[in-house]
Amino acid sequence: MASRKKKAEAVKPKNTTADAYIAGAGTIVDESVTETLKSNFMPYAMSVIVSRALPEIDGFKPSHRKLLYTMYNMKLLEGPTIKSANIVGRTMQLNPHGDAAIYETMVRLSEGNGALLHPFITSKGSFGKAYSKDMKCAAARYTEAKLAPIAAELFSDITKDTVDFVDNYDATMKEPVLFPVTFPTVLVNYNIGITPGMTSTICSFNLKEVCETTIAYIKDNDINVADTLLAPDFPIGGELLYNREQMERIYDTGRGSFKVRGTYTYDKSNNCIDIDSIPPTTTVEAIIEKVIELVKAKKITEINDIRDETDLSGMKITIDLKRGTDPEKLMSKLYKMTPLMDSFACNFNILIASTPRVMGVKEIISEWVAFRSECIRRRVYFQLSAAEDKLHLLKGLQKILLDIDKAIKIVRETEEEKEVVPNLMIGFGIDEIQAEYVAEIKLRHLNREYIINRLEDIEKLQSTIEEMQSILDSKAKIKRIIVDELTEVIKKYGVDRKTAIVAATDDDLTDTAEAVDDSPVTFFFTRDGYFKKITPQSLRMSGEQKLKEGDKIIQTVEAANDYDLLFFTTASQVYKSRAADFADGKASVLGDFVAGKLGYDEGESSLYMVPTKDYSGFMLFVFDNGRIAKVPLSSYETKTNRKKLIKAYCDKYKLHSVFHFSEDRDIILKSTSGKMLIVNTGSIPLKASKENGGIAVMTQKKGQRIHSVKTYTAGKLENEYRYRTKNLPAAGSLPPAGKAVQTKIEL
């Protein structure tokens, strides 16, 4: 185990006093890397996850919440806009991370930036545009802002003890832990977060659809979310290529991807195409740069010019066409070869009680309903306590009003002011709080009208208290309140979808038709999951392969740059990529860490690489218990550009080895018992189901398992017939006693 060492030994520094010397400072400490990570890195990682990067059930990260709460305290729900710099400065009382980070948060939450479907900040001035990397926002001293009307839904109950408050970083102020939001903001606005070891990407949905889906869920927990929550919706518009099965998978698991493409109109008089919306994952500049690159490479020849004509009326990319160009065919090519059509990857990772959880839409709604129910319960209890306190005062007043002359007499005959309250308590049998209330009544209120009104207030309060108590005792009434609130939100803020839903065709879902260089290359794949792609020329000039300490090359394949790459992992998944997506490497570099480049799940690592061009041959999965599954490689071929396939092999049994063969051949299995068995893969049935458990090939007694699996060439073993069998499963045979088995079997 690698370890680190601290300074040689404790030495008292020169020219220092005895008090300045710290006992034990500089002492040698041997500490494992894992312990260092636990003590140093893990606290940092958890701080980022819990306190910075991931949204919570109210839909906000801490930075969002601190900014919006500051604006609420500044009374910015009403009145005119004020300078953004003023807001940023005040927010630093809650957020100590600097004015630049606070202003960036404000920009993203503003309507001027256009990043959110329902912005919470009304802006004035240049706040940049989410769809452009060149259109930057103006400095905070030049722009103005205030809270948008919809922000009122975040704070309507915040003063009624609906959520907990905690100290800010220097304990000089209080701030809310969550906002008591009246609708599921976590699903309404796009949110992304990156933390050490995990990410979160939540796409935005139409507010009306989200509220209607939540209402439907409250009424019936067994609803199909896809019936009311049609598809994600983005502020920039565009078209979503809809596949019901794909969308339901995202709704169920919280993970998956779908395609979004830009929209355009054809101006026949000027023979040009005007693109007026693009996917949320790209920018105007990225699209223009890619089109120019394709034109220069002569992969697209129908374009005369392309330019950005975005103005105050909105985004627009104009493409001038050559005479005779079919605009529909050109756009079909641009969709496949540029970011004009892109995949949006979802990962609904949300903090629930300070714990990150990847949840489906129904589970998110369930958690939000539980959260909102608790907010309403706390609000009603707060109101109930206030009503009971008021009733208590009025009941004391009622006793006084029954004999007002007696009360006046007590006050008049009391010699000292401090004795008024005790004398009223004794005279009418009321407590100190009631007596204080009575003693403060003005003389002008001692009339018939005032007395009658106060008695009526008692009756109303008693009725109100009974109603509030019934709400606290009834989950159905609380849910009815939530439904009423959601219905009101729909009336106030519901708008039509901005992103159109179009049926996805096979042609839409096929991979990019961009030509790929097919020059020869050699692939190197290491045990620790590093990949290198080296050209023949570079390989001839190379020296020894550089590897991570303790790592070794387990696969070397001569192929071409246009091959597909399949990486099988320890989590029963396969990640697909193209060799062209990896840069040409050299022997002197470590190469690409595949888990990082392809975005493996946490704790997942690489097992085996399969380069292929035509998906021929088959995969062989050998399990510890002696079972072997045989799956055609074509089962992993897809028309879509899906980068990850789940359930790539059976996870019911522990996997020992993975192989890809182009044709049937012999393999030799060795058990921990010492027995060996030669099997031809042709005797193992081929099954199209990727997660089939295969068949029993080599029987294992209790406590035994497969020790090694290698390919076998006839003649490598003496008396090899001893290790062959006509029927499966078989136990295999031990080598002859007293003879060492010599073999040159290669992996």
- 665 & 728 share domain: yes
Q: CA-to-CA distance for 67 and 84, rounded, in angstroms? A: 11
- 16 & 92 share domain: no
- 618 & 746 share domain: yes
Place 2 in a pLDDT band, splitting at 50, 70 and 90: very low
Q: List pLDDT tens digits, range 477-528.
A: 999 999 999 999 999 999 999 999 998 876 665 554 455 567 889 999 999 9
- 572 & 622 share domain: no
What is the DSSP code string of 656-667? EEEEEESS--EE
> Residue 562 has what pLDDT?
85
What average pLDDT does the segment 375-385 reach?
95
> Residue 21 has what pLDDT?
58
pLDDT exceeds cutoff 80 at 653: yes
The residue out of 611, 629, 658 marking a domain boundary is 611
What average pLDDT does the segment 214-222 reach?
95
> Residue 588 has what pLDDT?
87
Q: Give, as one character, the DSSP assignment of residue 620.
A: E
What average pLDDT does the segment 429-448 reach?
83
CATH for 383 = 1.10.268.10
What average pLDDT does the segment 265-277 reach?
94
Query: Does any domain span residue 236?
Result: no
Place 438 in a pLDDT band, splitting at 50, 70 and 90: confident
What is the DSSP code string of 551-599? --EEEEEEEETT-EEEEEETTSEEEEEEGGGSPP--TTS--EEHHHHHT
What average pLDDT does the segment 691-707 reach?
91
Q: Give, as one character, the DSSP assignment of residue 654.
A: -
Query: Does any domain span residue 702?
Result: yes
pLDDT exceeds cutoff 80 at 717: yes
pLDDT exceeds cutoff 90 at 33: no
What average pLDDT does the segment 102-106 reach?
95
pLDDT exceeds cutoff 80 at 23: no
> Residue 540 has what pLDDT?
84
Which stretches within 220-253 are classed as H helix?
244-253
CATH for 309 = 3.30.1360.40
- 9 & 118 share domain: no
Averaged confidence pLDDT in the chain: 88
The residue out of 133, 158, 181 marking a domain boundary is 181
Q: Which residue has the higher pLDDT, 278 or 597?
A: 278
What average pLDDT does the segment 312-324 reach?
92
Kind of pairing between the strands at 198-202 and 606-612: unpaired
> Residue 25 has what pLDDT?
67
What average pLDDT does the segment 443-454 reach?
76
Query: Does any domain span residue 222?
Result: no
pLDDT exceeds cutoff 60 at 3: no
SS3 content of the chain, % helix, strand, coil (to 5): 35, 25, 40
> Residue 22 has what pLDDT?
64
Catalytic residues: 142
What average pLDDT does the segment 589-608 reach?
89
Q: List pLDDT tens digits, range 357-378.
A: 999 999 999 999 999 999 999 9
Q: CA-to-CA distance for 127 and 631, rounded, in angstroms? A: 54
Give the 3-state secondary structure of residue 54. coil
Q: Which residue has the higher pLDDT, 40 or 717?
A: 717
Task: Say if residues 85 and 138 touch (Cβ distance below 8 Å).
Answer: no
Place 743 in a pLDDT band, splitting at 50, 70 and 90: very low
- 747 & 618 share domain: yes
Query: Does any domain span residue 200?
Result: no
Query: Does any domain span residue 594?
Result: yes
| Separation of CA 46 from chain center | 16
- 648 & 574 share domain: no
- 606 & 618 share domain: no
Q: CA-to-CA distance for 559 and 612, rounded, in angstroms? A: 8
Q: Which residue has the higher pLDDT, 47 or 69?
A: 69
> Residue 561 has what pLDDT?
86
Q: Which residue has the higher pLDDT, 727 or 207?
A: 207
Contacts of residue 135, defined as CB under 8 A and 6 or more positions apart, other chains included, come to: 128, 129, 310
Query: Does any domain span residue 600?
Result: yes
Query: Does any domain span residue 98?
Result: yes
CATH for 137 = 3.90.199.10
What average pLDDT does the segment 701-724 reach?
88
- 719 & 652 share domain: yes
Strand partners, 602: none
Domain count for the chain, please give it: 6
- 164 & 105 share domain: yes
pLDDT exceeds cutoff 90 at 301: no
Residue type, 189: N
What average pLDDT does the segment 60-64 reach?
93
- Could you give the percent of the chain with pLDDT greater than 70? 93
Q: CA-to-CA distance for 142 and 124, rounded, in angstroms? A: 9
Q: Which residue has the higher pLDDT, 514 or 185?
A: 185
Q: Determine phi and psi for 62, rounding to 5 degrees.
A: -55, -40
Sheet of 500-503, strands arranged across? 191-195, 198-202, 341-347, 255-261, 239-242, 500-503
**CA contacts within 13 A on the Cβ side of 603:** 2
- 72 & 157 share domain: yes
* Range picked from 233-237, 413-417, 429-433 for highest mean pLDDT: 233-237
The per-residue b/e assignment along 361-395, b for 16 or more CB within 10 angstroms, e otherwise, is bbbbbbbbbebbbebbbbbbbbbbeebeebbebbe
Place 641 in a pLDDT band, splitting at 50, 70 and 90: low
Q: Which domain holds residue 422?
A: 366-491
What average pLDDT does the segment 708-714 reach?
90
> Residue 90 has what pLDDT?
95
Residue with tokens 């696969």: 555
Q: What is the pTM of this model?
A: 0.67
- Could you give the percent of the chain with pLDDT greater than 90? 60
What average pLDDT does the segment 266-272 reach?
93
Neighbours of 28 (CB within 10 A): 10
Q: CA 200, 204, 210, 213 torsion: positive or negative?
A: negative
Place 415 in a pLDDT band, splitting at 50, 70 and 90: confident
- 458 & 419 share domain: yes
The residue out of 119, 149, 181 marking a domain boundary is 181
pLDDT exceeds cutoff 50 at 611: yes
